[in-house]
Amino acid sequence: MTASHSSKAVVLAVFAALPFASTPVAAQNEEGQFTFSPFAAGQGFPFAGESHYDADFNWGIRAGYNFNSRLGVELIFGTNKTVRDPEAQRCDINQYGADVLYFFRPEEKLVPFLVAGLGALDVNFSGTYDGVNSLSDETIPYVEVGVGLEYGVTSWLGLRADFRESVLLNSDGQAMQGGVGFRLKL
């Protein structure tokens, strides 16, 4: 390792350690706090029968507000590109929703939480599935429940993992989503 590489490594290590040294480490959900949570997830429709959407990568953003240390709300926008079977027609699914979160042990570094919410999946089909025919776009309302875990890295940053199950209201299907992300506290 050359001197310039070693000095770059030291500078990088110092900057990487700054967030951990500058603030106390705790999840610290506070009353009146706004949050911003980008996420990456997998979204699937495992029990939808022959006509269903394939499981695929899902990403998005959650914007939230804590009413107190235990109770918060979030608005969600998520999106993925997938395929509707058996027709094998490509589509974009945009998710819009609102969730209520209940935090257990909000003063601890590791905070489990419950989620309940509702929203809609807006499905936009592109192209055709047989060279001629195309499926019609649709909006699918849902209700969901889930669990999550947040680990406080600093007082303003948490790492987050969520698992949610949704019941699709205008069909007999379900959707499952498991994801990771981080939570910025403003």
pLDDT tens figures, 4-45 = 445 454 444 444 544 444 444 455 678 889 999 999 998 887
Which H or E run contains 13? Answer: helix 3-22
- The residues, any chain, with a CB within 8 Å of residue 60's CB and separated by 6 or more, are 38, 39, 41, 76, 77, 78, 79, 95
147, 114 Cβ separation under 8 angstroms: yes
Average pLDDT, stretch 100-117? 94
* pLDDT for the residue 21: 44
pTM: 0.78
Compute the half-sphere exposure of residue 35: CA atoms within 13 Å on the CB side of its CA: 33
* Average pLDDT over every residue of 93-107: 94
Cα 147 to chain centroid, rounded: 12
Q: Which residue has the tokens 């940053």?
A: 157
The predicted pLDDT at position 51 comes to 65
CA nearest 45: which of 171, 179, 180? 171
Task: Number of helices (H) and strands (E) in the chain: give both, helices first.
Answer: 1, 9
CB atoms within 10 A of CB 12: 10
User: How does pLDDT run across 44-60, given as a tens digit for each residue?
Assistant: 877 666 667 888 888 99
Q: E strands, the chain, where? A: 34-44, 52-53, 56-66, 71-85, 89-103, 110-125, 138-152, 157-168, 174-185
In terms of Cα–Cα distance, which of 62, 15, 60 is closest to 34?
62
Helix (H) or strand (E) holding 22: helix 3-22
Is the N-terminal amide bond of 112 cis, ω within 30° of 0?
no
Q: Report all structural domains of the chain as residue ranges with CATH numbers, in order of start.
A: 24-185 (2.40.160.20)
- The alpha carbon of residue 59 and the mean position of all alpha carbons in its chain are separated, in whole angstroms, by 7
Q: Provide the pLDDT confidence category of residue 173 given band limits of 50, 70 and 90.
A: confident
What does the pLDDT look like over 116-157, one tens digit per residue? 999 999 989 888 777 777 788 888 899 999 999 999 998 889
